[in-house]
Structure 1
Amino acid sequence: MSVKLPRFGVWALVHGSRAALQDPAEPYDASWARNKSLVLEAERLGYDSVLVAQHTINPHDPSLDQLEAWTSSAALAALTSRIEIITAIKPYLYHPVVLAKMAQQIEHISGGRFAINVVNAWNRPELERAGIGFPEHDARYLYGREWLEVVSALLRGETVNHHGDNFHIDNYQLQPADPFRARPRIYVGGESEPARELVAAQGDVWFINGQAPDDVARLITDVSARTRPAGQAALRFGLSAFVIARETQVQADAHLAHLFALAELDKPLRERQKVNIDSKAVMHQTFAQSPRVGSNGGTAAGLVGDYDVVAQRIAAFHQAGVELFMLQFQPFEADMRSFAEEVIPRVRRLLSQ
């Protein structure tokens, strides 16, 4: 059973609304101005982390705006003072030496609050249209494993001599080194067997997509049992979830129904998008098993209800091993505020009893 209190984070709105793109109460806005305001408010409200997803083109509709993750994260690092900034990275988009130097720089700007989230891509056009190519699922993970090995060693301040299938690096060291800790924290996403092997071998925190508590518990049990490198701390776990918390269950259910109706307006877009998704991505196989709104599992985690019910469900997830809850809302800013004011205190009271 966990003894530390859970941490709470929010998804930056790098490609707009998370549940439905055509919501009159939340017009589409993936601008830097909105994201800056949202993250600064999240920090003021006491949220612990922000996840900045990485896409170079919008994964829903290439004609829509898309915020660039790494330049935005550097700016957020300079503007904030406490919140952890977790930035996603698709290894094929950056050479590991270049990415490690960028990560180390943002670590310095933030004063030791930076982390990377390694994801091995599912959106085919993003890589194919750039001429990079989109290798088969397991091949992407082999590449990502070698890529992360190089990045981790450079972030630890080591002099790297690496000669592998994809990279040949001679006598390379980054300066200045990290004065805050051994290296920035590494999160890993993905639930396939190669993803589980990768996080057990090289990650600090495993991001699990929103799903039922029993399924989450099984995933945690599976990966916790895997061998970790000598001297490496125990693996920690995060959960993505879309939250609808209201004064009453009736109000929460009504808002969920409202979002489902709005999401139907995006159905033609989702149908066109299916051809771009890697069929071997376990995330999308899991999504197909249950109706939900929100990305990365969304409401499949069951955090829909009155304030007390949502708090109780979060406490149960935490006791099963989830340390960080990475949350989505819609309307985002309003629900982010009410969650901080109504749900987080209830969770803390439950876990302190």
Structure 2
Amino acid sequence: MPANSPRFGVWALVHGSRAALQDPAEPYDASWARNKALVLEAERLGYDSVLVAQHTINPHDPQLDQLEAWTASAALAALTDRIEIIAAIKPYLYHPVVLAKMAQQIEHISGGRFAINLVNAWNRPELERAGIGFAEHDARYAYGREWITVVDSLLRGQTTRFHGEHFQIDDYALRPADPFRARPRIYVGGESEPARQLVADKGDVWFVNGQPIEDVEKLLADVGSRARPAGQPPLRFGLSAFVIARETDGEADAHLAHLFALAAQDKPLRERQKVNIDPNAVMFQTFAQSPRVGSNGGTAAGLVGSYDTVARRIAAFHRVGIELFMLQFQPFEADMRAFAEHVIPRVRKLLAE
């Protein structure tokens, strides 16, 4: 069991609804106004983190609205007091010196509550249509390794010199340095072999996509057993999951069936999207193995059932090593409130027994 108590976070609705785009109970809305209100309420409800995914164009349909992650994260840092703000970053979109300076500034605005989520991209048009190009899978991870090495050093306030294949950095230092801690926390996503080694070498927390507990346990055992750089604390783990929690298991199953029916209306859009996805991305290979709703594994983690059922399953995930649960809901605001009221206290009680 992890030494730390479980933490609970929410996904910002940067591209609208997470399970189905055509839901009468949750009209499509990826606006700044909605996301601001959602995160402020999440903080009031006691949630610990918010993950702001990064896309410059909507990954489902380029005609749909898309929230910008880093300007939104800076604004959220100024508006909140306690919640951790995690901004995702795709290395090809920002030079590491520029991004490190941005991250350092948001760290100051937040008072030491900022974090980076390093992802190495899967959506081809986002990079190709900008003329950046879309390298093959392992090449993206090699680029990301150099990139995060530079960013890590700069965020620590070090005078940085780095000569690699992609970056030539000479005696660069950023001021003011972080007065709150050594540097902002670094989350890493991805489950391929290059991703696993990258998080062992450079990350603080590994984000695992939603999937059954026995699969999660194997992933954590593999990456948790890898050597860490000298002086680095043990790696911590987070899990993405879509939650459907109701008074009874039957009510939860009925809502899951309802969301599957709504998601079926998005099938033509999903089919068009497939051509944009890197087939070597392990995330999508895993998703193809079981039906689900929600992104990043969604309901495949099994957090569907009564309040007691969901609490027991979360406690079981925590006991095998998951510390942070990054959650999705639909309808988001109503289910986020119900989870805070009915599930979190049950989880705390179970883990205290």
Normalising by the residue count of structure 2, what TM-score does the alignment of the two structures yield? Answer: 1.00
Q: Which residue of 2 aligns with 1:46?
A: 46
Q: Which residue of 2 aligns with 1:268?
A: 268
- How many angstroms does 1:125 deviate by? 0.3
Q: Which residue of 1 aligns with 2:308?
A: 308
1:136-178 deviations in Å (ceiling 9; x for gaps)? 0000000000000000000001001111100111110000000
The one-letter amino acid paired with 1:244 is I
Q: Which residue of 2 aligns with 1:241?
A: 241
The one-letter amino acid paired with 1:24 is P
The share of aligned pairs that are identical, in percent, is 83
Name the stretch that deviates more: 1-10 or 43-52: 1-10
* SS of alignment partner, residue 186 of structure 2: strand
* SS of alignment partner, residue 10 of structure 1: strand
- How many angstroms does 1:226 deviate by? 0.6
Q: Which residue of 2 aligns with 1:157?
A: 157
The one-letter amino acid paired with 1:125 is P
Q: Report the CA distance shift for 1:230/1:3 in structure 2 as closer, same or farther (over 3 A).
A: closer
* SS of alignment partner, residue 29 of structure 1: coil
Q: Distance in 1 between matches of 2:214 and 2:230?
A: 30
Counterparts of 1:137-176 in structure 2 under 5 Å?
Answer: 137-176=137-176
Q: Distance in 2 between matches of 1:171 and 1:250?
A: 62
Is 1:67 the equivalent of 2:51? Answer: no
Q: Which residue of 2 aligns with 1:217?
A: 217
- How many angstroms does 1:241 deviate by? 0.1
Number of equivalences: 353
* SS of alignment partner, residue 9 of structure 1: strand
Q: Distance in 2 between matches of 1:2 and 1:65?
A: 39
Counterparts of 1:129-144 in structure 2 under 5 Å?
Answer: 129-144=129-144
The one-letter amino acid paired with 1:152 is D
Q: Distance in 1 between matches of 2:164 and 2:320?
A: 38
Q: Distance in 2 between matches of 1:209 and 1:252?
A: 21
The one-letter amino acid paired with 1:347 is V
The one-letter amino acid paired with 1:149 is T
Q: Which residue of 1 aligns with 2:106?
A: 106
The one-letter amino acid paired with 2:342 is E
Is 1:319 the equivalent of 2:319? Answer: yes
Is 1:332 the equivalent of 2:313? Answer: no
* SS of alignment partner, residue 26 of structure 1: coil
1:199-237 deviations in Å (ceiling 9; x for gaps)? 000000000000000000000000011110001000000
Output the aligned Cα RMSD.
Answer: 0.4
1:272-309 deviations in Å (ceiling 9; x for gaps)? 00000000000000000000000000000000000000
Q: Distance in 2 between matches of 1:230 and 1:101?
A: 26
Q: Distance in 2 between matches of 1:48 and 1:122?
A: 28
- How many angstroms does 1:3 deviate by? 3.5
The one-letter amino acid paired with 2:240 is S
Q: Which residue of 2 aligns with 1:77?
A: 77
Normalising by the residue count of structure 1, what TM-score does the alignment of the two structures yield? Answer: 1.00
The one-letter amino acid paired with 2:229 is P
Q: Which residue of 2 aligns with 1:94?
A: 94
In the TM superposition, structure 1's runs of 4+ consecutive aligned residues that sit over 4 Å from their partners are none
- How many angstroms does 1:87 deviate by? 0.3
Q: Distance in 2 between matches of 1:332 and 1:49?
A: 15
- How many angstroms does 1:5 deviate by? 1.5
* SS of alignment partner, residue 275 of structure 2: helix
Counterparts of 1:171-210 in structure 2 under 5 Å?
Answer: 171-210=171-210
Q: Distance in 2 between matches of 1:12 and 1:333?
A: 11
1:100-159 deviations in Å (ceiling 9; x for gaps)? 000000000000000000000000000000000000000000000000000000000100
- How many angstroms does 1:2 deviate by? 2.2
Q: Which residue of 2 aligns with 1:35?
A: 35
